[in-house]
Amino acid sequence: MGLLGIKWAPLNVPWHRRLETAMALFWIISLALGGPFGVALLVYLIFFSNYYLVGLLYIAWMYYDRNTCYTGGRRCKFIRRLFIWKYFVNFFPMRLERSEELSPNENYMFCVFPHGLLSAGAFAHFGTEVTQFGELFPGLTVFNATLDMHFKTPFFREYLMSLGVVSASKESLLYLLDGAKKGNVLILVVGGAAESLYAHPGTYRIVLKNRKGFVRIALKTGTPLVPVFSFGETDLYDQVQNPPGSTLLRFQNWLRKYTGLAPCLFIGRGILQYSFGLLPMRAPVTTVVGKPIAVPKIANPSQEEVEKYHHRFTEDLVKLFEENKGKYIKNPEATELIIE
């Protein structure tokens, strides 16, 4: 139904659809505003309430707990298994596919593309336990890696760690991949914030050419590299047009360089209308886990060795995209993977 140029939602939407919308709203608000909310809450507790001791004790806790994000984090299965996440997954919906079985006696590095705006596919499949991951990859434990800065944020850090999120620092990655414990799966969204600026519906432009640190870590630990591609991830939001070379994109990259965050001018949908808002679009996202690439364990890999396996990974990622785009992309013949 259209009115005043706005496409409004019908009044007879089923309750399960309303619950799915509510969970999608919770997801975007918790990730986009969780950090600022945590800071504001701590300031309120210390300066504007009678619970200043709670705020001060929490600061002491943050200092005491400061290294947990580097040593595997502190996941909470209860949070990861909450039934509400099913509504989030069904909102799009999300689906996970595998190319082959993976042994629980090995560690793996899942390198996920594309980032999209907020990596909804990676969150659903690897940040919760309500999708098919446990069935497809029994015996494996996933750890999502994100920027170190998020673990300096009060309260928000606890939410992230409850979902199995750890620091993406070198120290953290080596701890998970080079220890005696096997069956760890490290989730890296390699393109990061820079890649989110390229996320536009129907396009797949990723950042990989100069991202080689993950290959070096894989070689240092002898960890197989696994290409992972989320088809439909870039269809969840649109953005104000910022083509390569544009003034807007240059400004966004400049701001990202100094803040670590991508200032995307995104366009979603609303709760009661479909024309604009914070919510993602209802578009299916299928995440395909490719075949692992075995790498040797080399204490100090040379640049040539890093280049060799980076090239091999790039080839396998492109192959994964080409083999599956016909199944999950509306216009596969006109869609190609662009690597920056």
Strands (E), the chain: 2-3, 6-7, 94-98, 108-113, 141-146, 165-167, 184-188, 204-206, 225-231, 238-239, 266-267, 285-289, 337-339
Long-range interactions of 271-278: CB distance < 8 A, separation 24+ = 271/9, 271/21, 271/25, 272/8, 272/9, 273/6, 273/7, 273/8, 273/9, 274/7, 274/8, 274/9, 275/5, 275/6, 275/7, 278/25, 278/28, 278/29, 278/32
Position 4 scores a pLDDT of 59
Position 122 scores a pLDDT of 95
Six-digit token string for 80: 């990861």
Position 5 scores a pLDDT of 64
Position 110 scores a pLDDT of 98
Instruction: Say which residue the tokens 């006109």 belong to.
Output: 334
Position 2 scores a pLDDT of 55
Whole-angstrom distance, CA of residue 249 vs CA of residue 235: 19
Whole-angstrom distance, CA of residue 49 vs CA of residue 72: 34
Residues 107 and 91 sit within 8 Å (Cβ to Cβ):
no
Residues across the chain: 340
Position 302 scores a pLDDT of 96
In the beta sheet, which residues pair with residue 206? 339
DSSP code at position 315: H
**3-class DSSP state of 99:** coil
Residues 169 and 176 sit within 8 Å (Cβ to Cβ):
no
Six-digit token string for 273: 């209308």
- Rounded (10°) angle between helices 84-91 and 15-47: 120
pLDDT < 50 regions, the chain? none
Position 40 scores a pLDDT of 97
Six-digit token string for 26: 């919770």
Position 1 scores a pLDDT of 53
Hey, which CATH number is domain 14-339, 1.10.3470, 1.20.58, 3.40.1130, 1.10.287?
3.40.1130
Position 3 scores a pLDDT of 56
Position 251 scores a pLDDT of 86
Position 271 scores a pLDDT of 83
Domain spans in the chain, listed from the N-terminal domain onward: 14-339
Six-digit token string for 65: 């707990």
Whole-angstrom distance, CA of residue 336 vs CA of residue 150: 33
